[in-house]
A = this chain, B = another copy of it.
Amino acid sequence: MEQKAGYEKPDQEKEFVKEITPRSVDFSQWYIDVVLKAKMMDYAPIKGFMAIRPSGYALWEKIQEQMDRRFKETGHQNAYFPLFIPHELLEKEAEHVEGFSPEVAWVTKGGDEILSEPLVVRPTSEAIICDFYSRWVQSWRDLPVLINQWCNVVRWEKSTRPFLRTSEFLWQEGHTCHRTEEEAEEEALKMLEVYRECIETELAIPAVVGRKTEREKFAGALRTYTVEALMSDGRGLQAGTSHNLGQHFAKVFDITFLDKDDQLKHVWQTSWGVSTRLIGALIMVHGDDRGLIIPPRLATFQAVIVPILTKKDRKRVLESVQELADQLQGNIRVKLDDREEYSPGWKFNDWEMRGVPLRIEIGPKDLDRGQVVLVRRDSGEKFFVPREELPTLLPGLLDQIQDDMLKKALEFREANTRSGSDYAEFKQIMEEKRGFYMASWCGDAACEEKVKDDTKATIRCILFDQQPADENCLVCDKKAKEVVYFARAY
């Protein structure tokens, strides 16, 4: 979206890209080609904004369904808070306002009325939610508060990229209040694990978890935990974060409760979120030069049936594929593409580009032989399979594809996770190969800054409970405190 300035009618030539640029030629262009050609999104007539088209939104619905189920299983309820935040509320927490003020959209007029105090469109909802919580929480009986909201947020971004960074995006934000510090810490780590497990199980993306540095943590948090994934171009991507907010917000918003011991205390809070950015991660981890590859568990259609029609056998083939579609419906999510205005070859390319995990081809000869042709999107493998075996074979095969996709992504990540203690070597790797680089760090922000200046890489996360193998910091050679992952990131 970087190329657009102000409002401008998108150029149709540019937009309906005819070919997909190979990843090896230009990964960024490959990504744009795929999201446009697979009709995942389209640019809005406002710089930095986009529409999520049905094939992109269907992925978001599946991600929501899987995440939401896990949130509810861990005792959370959904709610909805106002889109607008009075500026004075945002200003209450000093770090928070400093972090978000530069990127908010301002509402200054409502109807015919010029607002006496401008409103900001939520960039995140801590401030407005804490205002409500200060009234809802009175007693220890009201705790814990375990609330999540699915909504849109706006952050005025200068440089944007579909799904990964846009001025408006969809997300969920959990906001919880607890009696004790321990409970809040436990919650923050529990939701981090929910994210990691869901992203691995459903999106087939292996994820590293850890803590953010002071420089990279959420504005207003005590500690930020993060789920980090590696894209297939070797760049890192933050896939979800969970914050222990401590009592920072509780103190400025006056969220207090009468505890069992009759003392008035401030609550301990967390917040955590994942966004439509996960769609971008999914594309960049699994996609190839033919387009998307969707993991079976998230696919709207897990298999597409494409009949090969000839004039002579048209009717019997169509009847037969309809019968097969009906038969498979209970077992898997199947789509019959019996459109006659498109050729089988066109359909093969189109469904491959859209990433449907399995293709089932049936022509007159297959019908005579009682077989189908089965093509795996992830590996490209092609099998002849007896038709009657499909209902029992397909669910297992889809599980296999899901496993294989995770395994492949994991192998890629392992092959692209390096470690060492030679700064010159590190710089060269960040420049040439990228990937994750595990190293020891002294904990000093100056070293972190130097790495960023030298290589554009940042500390993605501080690993949990790990003693530095190397005693000295990768950068300054002073005594190391932490083990961290560096990467150039989205």
Which residue numbers of A lie inside 8 Å of B, CB to CB?
A: 6-7, 10, 12, 15, 42, 44-46, 49-54, 56-58, 60-61, 77-84, 86, 88-89, 102-113, 116-119, 121, 128, 131-132, 135-136, 141, 147, 151-152, 154, 156, 158, 167-168, 170, 341
Question: Separation in Å of the A171 CB from the closest CB of chain B?
Answer: 12
Q: In the complex the two chains form, is A52's CB within 8 Å of B77's CB?
A: no
Tell whether A58 pairs with B78 under 8 Å between CB atoms, given A10-B135, A156-B110.
yes
User: Which secondary structure dominates chain A's binding surface?
Assistant: mixed
A57 touches B86 (CB 8 A): no
Q: How far is the CB of A5 from chain B (nearest CB, A)?
A: 10
Known A102-B111, A111-B103: A82·B156 in contact at CB below 8 Å: no
Considering the chains assembled together, what is the distance between the CA atoms of A79 and B141 in angstroms? 40
* 9 pairs of residues in contact across A and B, judged by CB atoms under 8 Å: A7-B88, A44-B128, A45-B86, A45-B128, A46-B84, A52-B79, A54-B78, A83-B154, A151-B152
Contact partners of A135 in chain B: CB under 8 A:
10, 12, 15, 42
Q: A86 — which chain B residues lie within 8 A by C-beta?
A: 7, 45-46
Contact B154 A111 (CB under 8 A): no
> In the complex, are the beta carbons of A50 and B117 less than 8 A apart?
no
Say whether, besides A109-B108, A110-B106, A111-B104, A119 and B79 are in contact (CB < 8 Å): no
Contact B78 A51 (CB under 8 A): no
Determine the chain B residues whose CB is within 8 A of the CB of A117 once the complex forms.
Answer: 6-7
Residues of chain B within 8 A of A57, CB atoms compared: 77-80
Partner of A79, one of B54, B77, B104, B154: B54
Asked whether B6 lies within 8 Å of A116 as measured between CB atoms, the reply is yes
A68 closest partner in B (C-beta): B61
Instruction: Decide: A80 near B106, CB < 8 A? Known: A135-B42, A341-B141.
Output: no
